Amino acid sequence: MQDNVKSHITQFIKTAAANAGFSFCGIAKAEQLPDEARKLERWLNQGKHGKMGYMENYFDKRIDPTQLMPGAKSVISLLYNYFPEQTLSSSLKIAKYAYGEDYHDVIKEKLRLLVTALQQEVGDFEARIFVDSAPVLEKAWAQKSGLGWQGKNTNLINPKLGSFYFLAEIICDLPLHYDHPIKDYCGTCTACVDACPTDALVEPYQIDASKCISYLTIELKDALIPEQFHGKMENWIFGCDICQDVCPWNRFAKQHQEPKFLPTNDLKNVAANDWKEVTAEIFNQVFKHSAIKRTKWSGWERNITTAKN
């Protein structure tokens, strides 16, 4: 492909991504990630993924997108803002990303439209879209394409926006112009490590997911949350934002402009009442289109019971 054509397509992708509402778009060459492979293998061997057994599956595909999509040449990484205007009024807290509709559905639809627009511009090509639901090292690819750095809380931090955004990818067989990583600007700050009430951030840049409140309230499917964490949950009942809330870079976070990420009136009402009226029936009704449905009614009850202990 001629360089001027490659430049045109690359710029078209970034413009179309911005028009679709994505805050940032970066592109990296689809290739194996040897450094990330070693880190992931060590993390898994140390058991820091807890009971997320699926993290052990498809190792080769996680570290090499050409194994996930044969013929892949580029990984397009995108960031979509979800920072709300205000937090929900409740003594029991849910992560900000779960205020609106399930982000998997919302972002995937935007990715489909983006791929369609690109196909209309350049003709047919092979592509796969991903939103936190396949063996893709999202943060590694976002970092490789210059969208930010993985901070000491292990989240991707963008110097202009902070970290309150969803990550998404398009892996395709188009050769494009590639972006470059930026430097790490965490400096000497350890605010996130110091603030974690369960000591999940065992050291800067290292997370023991089995101790993370997000893991305990969502990924852990046991009937009970281990007693060692009782009294340390700080009223979080779905996910946790502590390590992001204290991050100085999130002073740059701006309110999102996505109507589908706004909390419904039903959600605001039950939250304002500290979730006391949430029966199984109301749970299924209020969270029908929410990421919170992942925890199911049994997990929701467990989380509330633990938070109140």
3-state secondary structure 231-264: CCCCCEEECCCHHHHCCHHHHHCCCCCCHHHCCC
Which helix (H) or strand (E) segment holds residue 118: the answer is: helix 103-122
Residue 44 · residue 56 · CB < 8 Å: yes
Assign 119 to helix, strand or coil.
Answer: helix
Which of 35, 105, 124, 132 is an active site residue? 132
Structure tokens at 134: 């396949």
> Is residue 35 among the annotated active site residues?
no
Residue 163 · residue 250 · CB < 8 Å: yes
Query: How far is the CA of 272 from the CAs of 277, 294, 295, 307, in angstroms?
Result: 10, 22, 21, 17
Residue 209 · residue 240 · CB < 8 Å: no
Computed from CA positions of residues 110, 112, 113, 119, in that sequence, does the dihedral angle turn out positive or negative? positive
Provide the annotated active-site residues. Answer: 132
